[in-house]
């Protein structure tokens, strides 16, 4: 692969459009993803994330617009593009009826590796992804996390320079999610470019170097996590008082020390903007001195819903949207 | 290396190799879930026993004389029923996530389809062996001997493989697997029963007799009977052979086209 002329831009998409019936699933997406690092595509269900990824991965033909992967067109040079990418779908793209080893061997045989090389590669990947013990078991007995890991392993057989991960952690428990995050970080260290979609701001924040926020088939914001968060506003501090009688006194103390607007709700909860941690320490000490007892202190990060509210003026819709295949 | 540098010949060689790997995958799956083979194992055994003892006395006077009539008939019927599975399996496979993986790999588009059809040959071999084994156990001794049985088997397997392209086509265009099963059975039932597979055609009312005579299944059954009894190829043999070829050419062309369009 060394003789390949690869453009330094991993993904260059211009005005991508995909229409299903009268649903504009993707409605003019522009993306510019540099090689190296992790790029997050963030958006709620039905925003058009999966459809966009499927077009970039040559699984769907765009109705309008164009996309290039390392300079190769996804429609005209689709075969070339397929040599450069690995795709891990939202639904496990492995064979349920076969074992992990068999799956990996078949994929690497299809990629042109000899039978001996395929066995070696399968064993290496299983080892790397902690699946050696379960290698012979049929996938029907795998947990969600194991299946995702195998899926990811299968995308890495040919060591493609660009890897698409469609919601790699949706439905995983927190521990498994952390493992997945570590794996994704390791991939990038080895020089790959990772494009991942997610519904969780937290995940994009933790992993991505840059984020595109997608809603209703359009990119509505793009930038580093820090840039995006600056747009959204800061986290908030939530204090729950043990005794409702102290509410006014507590409000006064906060207003004095933070010099900011605070909101109080009926159930003794006060919400204030999150600031410098040092100031919060002072604030808690001031509460102790005034004999105001707290039953809970929480720091709340902006939720995806708040991001959307800020960026679009509407909440993420919970209506049932046709699954974007 | 770029895609353009690969010569046409290497491309074909790669395609064949990738199809063989996909066929290997199909066989592995059969080994994992042997229940897939129920239709091609139970059916030949059950039908042979059932139909022979049920109709034997009425149609041929006794079971022994009925065997040379019914065994080719059951072979044709069960092997064709076995060829329906390709459509259902293909549809189920294409609906699964693993198909996305195949489509995102730099392999020949046609390999998963070709591989599935290749792997299906095992099913036809099983049907054929079981049907003849049942016939032998029940006392059939074809005059043309083992050669006749072998030739008849090859013809039946070839014809089933050709017609499996019809069902592969339904599998590719249908929306659900149960839909494929439904439409395939509607086609297959009249074709296999309204033929000379179980009863002599001259006992049928005129319009039915006409249909049974032109029915390709009748030609296949007669060709098999002739190979078993006289060890020679007759007119019906060539009709079956070329009929099968035509079905395969036509349906492989439209199946591949529909498949590429869906897979692209």
Q: Token digits for A322?
A: 């046709």
Chain B interface test: which of A62, A69, A93 (most B C-beta within 10 Å)? A93
Segment B184-197, tens digit of pLDDT: 889 888 999 999 99
Measured between alpha carbons, how far is residue B211 from residues B135, B162, B203 in Å? 28, 21, 13
* Contact of B74 with B44, CB cutoff 8 Å: yes
Fold of A9-231: Rossmann fold (3.40.50)
Q: Using the beta-carbon criterion (under 8 Å), do A98 and B105 form an inter-chain contact?
A: no
Who has greater pLDDT, A265 or A199? A199
Give the pTM. Answer: 0.77
Facing A95 at nearest CB: one of B18, B21, B98: B98
User: Closest Cα of chain A to B93: distance in Å?
Assistant: 9
Q: Is B37 exposed, middle or buried (0-12, 13-18, 19+ CB in 10 A)?
A: middle
User: Closest Cα of chain B to A79: distance in Å?
Assistant: 6
User: Closest Cα of chain A to B133: distance in Å?
Assistant: 31
Average pLDDT value over all residues in chain A: 85
Who has greater pLDDT, A12 or A128? A12
Report the distance separating Cα A272 and Cα A168, nearest Å.
34
Segment B207-231, tens digit of pLDDT: 999 999 999 999 999 999 999 999 9
Facing B103 at nearest CB: one of A59, A77, A91: A59
Q: How many Cβ pairs closer than 8 A exist between chain A and B? A: 73
User: Closest Cα of chain A to B65: distance in Å?
Assistant: 45
User: Closest Cα of chain A to B103: distance in Å?
Assistant: 7
DSSP annotation of A133 reads G
* Contact of A17 with A24, CB cutoff 8 Å: yes
Facing B29 at nearest CB: one of A57, A89, A98: A98
Contacts of A111 in chain B (CB under 8 A): 105-107
| Reported ipTM exceeds the 0.90 cut | no
Strand partners of residue A272: A237
Facing A107 at nearest CB: one of B100, B101, B111: B101
> Helix B38-60 and helix B63-82: axis angle, to 10°?
150
Q: Thinking of the domain A234-301, which architecture would CATH place it in?
A: 2-Layer Sandwich (3.30)
pLDDT above 90 as % of chain A: 38
Strand partners of residue A214: A219
**A112 and B CB contact within 8 Å:** yes
In the predicted structure, residue B2 carries a pLDDT above the cut 50:
no
Give me the pLDDT at residue B9, please. Answer: 59
Q: Using the beta-carbon criterion (under 8 Å), do B32 and A97 form an inter-chain contact?
A: yes
Report the distance separating Cα A78 and Cα A92, nearest Å.
22
| Among chain A residues, CA nearest to B104 | A82
Question: Structural domain boundaries of chain A?
Answer: 9-231, 234-301
Query: What's the rounded mean pLDDT across residues B132-160?
Result: 94
Alpha helices in A38-143 (DSSP H): 49-56, 78-84, 100-110, 115-128
* Sign of the torsion angle spanned by Cα atoms A91, A94, A95, A96: negative
Q: Using the beta-carbon criterion (under 8 Å), do B97 and A61 form an inter-chain contact?
A: no
Strand partners of residue A297: A239
């Amino acid at each position: 692969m060394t003789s390949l002329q690869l453009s330094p831009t991993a993904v260059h998409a211009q005005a991508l459009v995909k229409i299903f019936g009268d649903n504009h699933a993707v409605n003019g997406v522009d993306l510019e993803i540099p090689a190296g690092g992790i790029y997050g595509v963030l958006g709620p269900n039905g925003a058009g994330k999966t459809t966009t990824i499927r077009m970039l991965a040559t699984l769907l033909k765009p109705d309008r617009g164009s996309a290039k992967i390392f300079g190769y067109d996804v429609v005209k040079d689709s075969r070339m593009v397929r040599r450069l990418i690995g795709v891990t779908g939202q639904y496990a793209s492995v064979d349920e009826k076969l074992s992990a080893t068999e799956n990996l061997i078949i994929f690497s045989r299809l990629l042109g590796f000899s039978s001996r090389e395929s066995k070696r590669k399968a064993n290496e990947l299983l080892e790397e992804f902690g699946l050696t013990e379960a290698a012979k078991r049929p996938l029907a007995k795998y947990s969600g996390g194991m299946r995702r890991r195998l899926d990811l392993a299968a995308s890495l057989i040919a060591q493609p320079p660009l890897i698409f991960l469609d919601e790699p952690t949706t439905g995983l428990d927190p521990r498994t999610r952390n493992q997945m995050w570590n794996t994704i970080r390791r991939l990038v260290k080895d020089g790959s470019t990772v494009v991942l979609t997610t519904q969780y701001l937290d995940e994009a924040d933790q992993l991505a170097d840059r984020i595109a926020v997608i809603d209703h088939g359009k990119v509505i914001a793009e930038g580093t996590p820090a840039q995006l968060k600056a747009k959204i506003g800061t986290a908030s501090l939530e204090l729950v008082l043990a005794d409702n009688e102290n509410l006014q006194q507590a409000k006064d103390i906060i207003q004095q020390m933070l010099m900011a607007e605070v909101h109080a709700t009926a159930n003794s909860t006060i919400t204030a903007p999150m600031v410098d941690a040092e100031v919060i320490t002072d604030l808690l000490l001031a509460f102790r001195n005034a004999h105001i007892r707290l039953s809970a202190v929480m720091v709340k990060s902006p939720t995806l819903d708040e991001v959307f509210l800020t960026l679009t003026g509407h909440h993420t819709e919970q209506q049932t949207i046709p699954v974007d295949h | 290396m770029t895609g353009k540098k690969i010569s046409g010949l290497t491309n074909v060689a790669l395609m064949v190799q990738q199809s063989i790997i996909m066929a290997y995958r199909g066989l592995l799956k059969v080994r994992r879930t042997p229940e897939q083979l129920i239709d091609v194992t139970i059916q030949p055994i059950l039908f042979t026993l059932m139909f022979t003892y049920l109709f034997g006395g009425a149609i041929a006077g006794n079971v022994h004389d009925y065997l040379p009539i019914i065994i080719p008939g059951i072979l044709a019927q069960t092997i064709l029923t076995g060829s329906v599975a390709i459509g259902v399996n293909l549809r189920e496979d294409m609906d699964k996530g693993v198909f996305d993986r195949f489509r995102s790999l730099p392999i020949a588009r046609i390999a998963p389809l070709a591989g599935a059809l290749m792997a299906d040959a095992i099913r036809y071999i099983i049907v054929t062996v079981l049907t003849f084994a049942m016939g032998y156990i029940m006392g059939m001794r074809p005059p043309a001997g083992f050669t006749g049985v072998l030739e008849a088997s090859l013809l039946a397997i070839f014809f089933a493989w050709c017609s499996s392209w019809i069902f592969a086509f339904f599998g590719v265009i249908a929306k659900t697997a149960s839909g494929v099963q439904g439409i395939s059975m509607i086609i297959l039932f009249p074709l296999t029963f309204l033929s000379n597979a179980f009863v002599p055609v001259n006992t049928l009312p005129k319009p039915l007799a006409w249909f049974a005579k032109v029915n390709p299944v009748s030609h296949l059954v007669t060709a098999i009977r002739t190979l078993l009894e006289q060890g020679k190829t007759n007119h019906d043999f060539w009709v079956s052979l070329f009929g099968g070829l035509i079905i395969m050419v036509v349906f492989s062309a439209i199946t591949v086209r529909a498949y590429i369009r869906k897979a692209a």
